[in-house]
Amino acid sequence: MSPIAVSGASKDYKKESTLARLLGSGSAGIAELAVFHPVDTIAKRLMSNHGKIASAAQLNSVIFKDKAGAPVAKKFFSLFPGLGYAAGYKVGGMHVSRVSVVLMRQKVLQRVYKYGGQPFVRDYLAKNHGDFFDQTFGPKTGKAMMHSFAGSLIGIGEIVLLPLDVLKIKRQTNPEAFRGRGVVRIVRDEGFGLYRGWGWTAARNAPGSFALFGGSAFTKGYFFGLADYNKATWFQNFIASIAGASASLIVSAPLDVIKTRIQNRNFDNPEKGFKIVGSMIKNEGLTSFFKGLVPKLLMTGPKLVFSFWLAQTLIPAFDIALSPK
């Protein structure tokens, strides 16, 4: 049975069941992985590239790496490095490696954590600090700000999943770092080194997740005039997701570039974040902090919009479907 609605201004929403949150966010993660993994790989490789790209041939080399001269089919499948590494085992008749399974789980787990976890933080804030948000920002803005802060807190906590994100980014941008090692061997060898860059990741996630959930909440509350965000139509969720995703990508862009460069280094050749910042300013200029932003807005943006829209639409839908008639 779904929990009953909570009364009050910032508390005026219907709480979804835990199962609905898990199913909705998990379905969004699986769908995103299936559709957008190649796009994510391209964006990561562009962000990791040092120097300017002066020709189509150089762009081709940056995106496809050692498969730049290969046939179209091989080029395409080279964009799935995180889903097909080394020899492993078969699932459903398909050749799938241990790293493949881990990275597939990483994306789904990340979306379950963020999209499914934010409502729990929001519930906590509403129950314990709802009056504070109402009195500080006003009833309407307070509700949207509460969703934003809940997103920011869940974003900071996402560093728990950082090792899986590191493995995915290295596989996409620096596959030589694996040197034929499996996941268990890498974890045993590197230990807490897999959390390298956790501070920069938290600094990037806090404003990024604040903007993601906040942009969506403000769009629903002010643009569409919704008092209950769960009553948004699929179209309203879609527009709200565009607003939230765009704001998130722009706000987090500089720190995202730093985080990616920290994580794509070889395991045995790490580099400090501040050293990377200094090198970028000296050798590439301030615009380097926004490298890959246009491809992210054009390609990764739709990925985030797609999964966020699905999660916002499916969680209430699953809640209705699972509620007793």
Q: For residue 95, what is the enclosing H or E element?
A: strand 94-96
Three-class SS of residue 301? helix
pLDDT digits (tens, 9 = 90+) for 220-233: 999 999 999 999 99
For the chain, which residues score pLDDT lower than 70? 1-14, 81-106, 168-184, 263-270, 325
pLDDT at 320: 92
In the chain, the N- to C-terminal Cα span, in Å, equals 10
Burial of 210: CB neighbours in 10 Å, binned 0-12, 13-18, 19+: buried
pLDDT at 93: 38
Q: How far is CA 98 from CA 101, 197, 269, in A?
A: 5, 25, 25
pLDDT at 95: 39
- Can you give the three-state secondary structure of 159-204, one letter per residue? HHHHHHHHHHHHHHHCHHHCCCCCHHHHHHHHHHHHHCCHHHHHHH
pLDDT digits (tens, 9 = 90+) for 195-223: 777 888 888 899 999 999 999 999 999 99
pLDDT at 267: 59
| Residue boundaries of the structural domains of the chain | 18-41+105-322
Q: Specify the CATH architecture of the domain 18-41+105-322.
A: Alpha/alpha barrel (1.50)
Given the structure tokens 């001269």, which residue do they identify? 69
pLDDT at 204: 86
